[in-house]
Amino acid sequence: DADVTQTPRNRITKTGKRIMLECSQTKGHDRMYWYRQDPGLGLRLIYYSFDVKDINKGEISDGYSVSRQAQAKFSLSLESAIPNQTALYFCATSDPTGTGKTYEQYFGPGTRLTVT
């Protein structure tokens, strides 16, 4: 089974709708991240959480909110979706206390979101 899972994998929604993207991990990592990926712009950080009680805004947090329900779960919400939020969304985890590849981030398979 995948260590970082995302649901749904694909979603089409209409402008103004509320939508939630979910991320679960079995790696036991404290740090979790939400990114969006757009052609030519790469990965841009939306929100990140270094532990269950810690939530921080990233580079492009406007229009998004998050919830860290447990160490293993980190959800991203679009309160009122708009077309320019059409993108590929990735969840990632990292474990800075681990040995070896300390700064490695482990990514989920992504959610392709289309807002019409």
Partner 1 sequence: QKEVEQDPGPLSVPEGAIVSLNCTYSNSAFQYFMWYRQYSRKGPELLMYTYSSGNKEDGRFTAQVDKSSKYISLFIRDSQPSDSATYLCAMSDTGGFKTIFGAGTRLFVKA
Interaction site with partner 1 (CB under 8 A): 4, 31, 35, 39-43, 45, 90, 92, 94, 96, 101-105, 107-110
In the complex, least distance from residue 110 CB atom to partner 1, rounded to whole angstroms: 6
In the complex, least distance from residue 108 CB atom to partner 1, rounded to whole angstroms: 5
**What distance in Å separates the CA atoms of residue 84 and residue 18, rounded to the nearest whole number?**
15
- With tokens 């160490």, the residue in question is 71
Nearer to partner 1, 9 or 14 (CB): 9
In the complex, least distance from residue 7 CB atom to partner 1, rounded to whole angstroms: 14
**What distance in Å separates the CA atoms of residue 94 and residue 107, rounded to the nearest whole number?**
9
In the complex, least distance from residue 80 CB atom to partner 1, rounded to whole angstroms: 27
Nearer to partner 1, 66 or 80 (CB): 66
The residue ranges of DSSP E strands in 39-110, in sequence order, are 42-51, 54-57, 64-70, 73-78, 87-94, 106-107
Nearer to partner 1, 68 or 110 (CB): 110
Nearer to partner 1, 18 or 104 (CB): 104
Q: Using the CB atoms, write b or e for 78-88: b if 16+ within 10 Å.
A: beebeeebbbe
Altogether, the residues listed in the chain come to a count of: 116
